[in-house]
Structure 1
Amino acid sequence: MISTAIKWVVLVAFIVLTIGGNMLVCLAVGTSRRLHRVANCFVVSLAVTDLLLGLLVLPLSATLELRDGHWPLGGALCNIYISMDVMLCTASILTLLAISVDRYLAISGPLRYPRRVTPRRVAAAIAAIWASSLAVSFVPIHLGWNTWNFTVQNVDWHMHEEKEKWSCRYEWNNSYVLLDSFGTFYLPLLVMCGMYHRIFRVAREQVRRIRAATPSFARSASAAATAREHKATVTLAAVLGAFVICWFPYFTYFTCMGMKAEPDPNEIIHSVVLWLGYFNSALNPILYPALNRDFRRAYGQLLRCRGANQRPSAASMCLALQKRTAMSNGHHIVHDKCKPPEDTHLNVQEGNGTELTDHTSVKIS
């Protein structure tokens, strides 16, 4: 009884963390003007994917955990639930892949980045991610490609019919799992490793050039560049490491059980590796946006219930100060000395990871 209560509390807290974190990402981008950039479309897509996972899949997965695998809603809804699970997890992984490619394009060719990464191409990439995720989830499960005899799983399982021989779980009992796991995990993992390796190399080359151009009396600038390189390396290593730690055990277990045609895998191991993969959806709002200073600032404003538009601008504060000064001197004319600065589209590099601003200059800082 106590173990069930602890499990219930942990699962609920996990679901709330996943939903709340990804909602915070969406609200931060929606309310902060500084985050309205094309590159953040992938971050928002990732947050929406993980948010849908927390809303539609994780509560049902938690119910299965608490009911020892008993599913009272029948085989048809079970297949829909499993398809949504596979679709959203695949979309999350492919979006992480898109983010790594976007960051590589940004740092390797900053001047060509606006021509390469346009809003139309970003929208097409996001649409392709969702179409691919839909194709590898609903189609194979509802055509029976994932079962050992290529029949649709749970087809004879009716509503409110709970039998011990049936469990609402993705069946992986043929060689199809090799194609599925390679296409949805191992290949994206290899590409992500390649992208981040290239980012490391470009970052080191940039630091090397900074050191070569630094005079002997300005060693502090070189030390700062070295610190930024170390910080960027740690950040990108955390991003890639979290992805591998969360998903590699599940897909390795998934592949091994499929190749062995194991009809009844160990329930405890299956639950551990599955929820470890889910944990990546809770980490994404921390690893990707929260390491960015603009996101942290937007997070702080949202958590303090102070929107960016509610804060007085520098121009309005300056005008108010001039009015008070003019009135105190007996004048009623306010001199126009506090015009708001024009949008100069300066390239600002902030945060701990690679970050692209409104224009194209990109730096690891």
Structure 2
Amino acid sequence: MTATTALRWLFLMSVIILTIGGNILVCLAVGLSRRLWRRANCFVVSLAVADLLLGVLVLPVSATLELRNMKWPFGGTLCNIYISMDVMLCTCSILTLLAISVNRYLAISSPLSHSQSVTPQRVTLAIISIWVLSLAVAFSPIHLGWNTADYRVQNLDWEFGDEGTDNGRYCQFEWNNNYVLIYAFGSFYLPLLVMCGMYLCIFKVAREQVRRIRATTPSFVRSATAAIAREHKATVTLAAVLGAFIMCWFPYFSYFTCMGVKEKTTPPNTLHSVVLWLGYLNSTLNPILYPAFNRDFRRAYGELLRCRAPSHRTLLTHVTLHKRFTFFNLSMVSQNSNKNMATVMIDSERNLSREERHCPDNSR
């Protein structure tokens, strides 16, 4: 093993371990921390699950191909399944980011009606639709032959055990016709433009809200200010996630779009590996970006890494003790008040009896 191979192996294993561990940490943080139990974080968990599946199912195979000089010994059928999984998880990530941007826009533009418009049923339906659409977009073109020059299913004559590189075959997505333009525009460029426009509107609305808050009296706006401040922090977090997504995946789609327009299958080279793993690196960065911009995620991460009890248990304990002390105080007050009332009634009865003794009877 040469030094270059050792460095490549170390880099690839580091990306895989960080991707799997980081996204597991996101799922545990949202699941165990009561502060993170919000509807918007359902999309965050969906994104983390997609990145986690990418780290478990796709990245180890891609790393094996890199270390074996792109030799694929498992046959054409498994190659097509591997490519479909890769495309599905990538599509699911960008559609989830699109849903997150839409939800963030609704939360910023109309905070009062947000809970009525974004219900748990609609959030669940949106997440299911994203996964089903990603599954259809990924598996249909490859297994129906839409992506090849002759519109035949790729790698059907590739037998198990044939590594393929000696015959000029490579386990990669063949974008060799105009379908690449439709796919790239529909699954990447169009959602990317919508997300950028959405976040531009979000920042404009947030700036206008800050200006209005500063112009109003602080007597009745303190709670609203805190809520809007939380929304703005979440917006900055998700904008950072979107920026990382653009930097990671834009070179990938640009490169493969150019290759698809040329209608020529080229063997994987160094540039191919760089843009591919740059795109994979986005799944590693997402769990790092959440705690960097979100205090609740930082607290949940710290508690999980220190193996401490979840924050919601501590919160519930404090709340329970507070309620018990409050109930005890109220009961003592009520008992004292009852005693005082009883004393007053006894004194009044004694005064009445005294008056009856000293006053003459008018009936006689």
Which TM-score bucket, shorter chain as reference? 0.7 to 0.9
Aligned counterpart, 1:254 = 256
Q: Given residue 44 of structure 2, which amino acid in structure 1 is its aligned partner?
A: V
Tell me which residue corresponds to 1:282.
284
Supply the AA of the counterpart residue of 1:203. Answer: A
Mapping for residues 218-257 of structure 1, pairs under 5 Å: 235=237, 237-257=239-259
In 1: Cα distance, 2:230 partner to 2:34 partner: 26
**Which residue of structure 1 aligns with residue 137 of structure 2?**
136
TM-score by length of 2: 0.81
- Which residues of structure 1 form unaligned runs of 5+? 216-223, 323-333, 340-365
Matching residue of 2:13? 12
Question: For the residues of structure 2 that align with 1:75 and 1:104, how far apart are their CA atoms?
Answer: 44
- 2:297 matched residue in structure 1: 295
Counterpart AA for 2:328: D
Once residues 280 and 238 of structure 2 are traced to their aligned partners in structure 1, the CA distance between those partners, rounded to angstroms, is 20
The one-letter amino acid paired with 1:189 is L
Shift of residue 245, structure 1, vs aligned partner: 0.6
Contact 1:25 1:47 in 2 (8 A): yes
Q: Which range is displaced more, 183-192 or 234-243?
A: 234-243
Distance 1:302 1:22 in 2: 13
Could you say if the C-alpha distance between residues 287 and 335 of structure 1 is closer, same or farther in structure 2, counting changes exceeding 3 Å? closer
What is the alpha-carbon distance in structure 2 between the residues aligned to residue 96 and residue 21 of structure 1?
18
Deviation, 1:236, is 5.4
Are the structure 2 counterparts of residues 33 and 181 from structure 1 closer, same or farther at C-alpha, using a change threshold of 3 Å? same
Alignment of 1:313-328 (within 5 A): 313-314=317-318
Are the counterparts in 2 of residues 196 and 236 from structure 1 also a CA contact under 8 Å? no
CA distance in structure 1 between the aligned counterparts of 2:231 and 2:35, rounded to whole angstroms = 24
Aligned residues of 2:176 and 2:260 also touching (Cα < 8 A): yes
Matched residue, 1:352: none
User: Deviation per CA, 1:257-295, whole angstroms, max 9, x where unpaired?
Assistant: 111112115511111111111111111122246522211
- Number of equivalent positions: 317
Determine which structure has the larger helix proportion and give its number. Answer: 2
Matches within 5 A, 1:31-42: 31-42=32-43
RMSD across aligned C-alpha pairs, in angstroms?
A: 2.7
Name structure 2 gaps, 5 residues minimum.
219-225, 332-364
Give the residue type in structure 2 aligned to 1:263: T
Measured in 1, the distance between the counterparts of 2:198 and 2:272 equals 31
**1:175–1:115 Cα change, 3 Å:** same
1:202 maps to which residue? 205
Does the Cα contact within 8 Å between 1:318 and 1:338 map onto a contact in 2? Answer: no
Structure 1 counterpart of 2:185, which letter? F
SS in 2 for 1:137: helix
1:210-253 deviation per Cα after TM superposition (whole angstroms, max 9, x unaligned): 333379xxxxxxxx9xx999978865553332121111111111
- Residues 231/135 of structure 1: CA separation in 2 closer, same or farther (3 Å cut): closer
What are the Cα deviations for residues 63-100 of structure 1, in whole angstroms up to 9, with x where unaligned?
00110100111111010000000001110111011111
CA shift digits 1:198-217 (9 cap, x unpaired): 111011101211333379xx
Larger gyration radius, structure 1 or structure 2: 2
Q: Distance in 2 between matches of 1:64 and 1:151?
A: 24
Query: What letter is aligned with 1:314?
Result: H
| Residue in structure 2 matched with residue 346 of structure 1 by the alignment | none
Match of 2:328 in 1: 336
Q: Taking structure 1 as reference, are residues 306 and 228 closer, same or farther at Cα in structure 2, changes over 3 Å only?
A: closer
The CA distance in 2 between the partners of 1:107 and 1:244, in whole Å, is: 23
Please state how far the C-alpha of 1:319 moved relative to its aligned partner.
Answer: 9.6
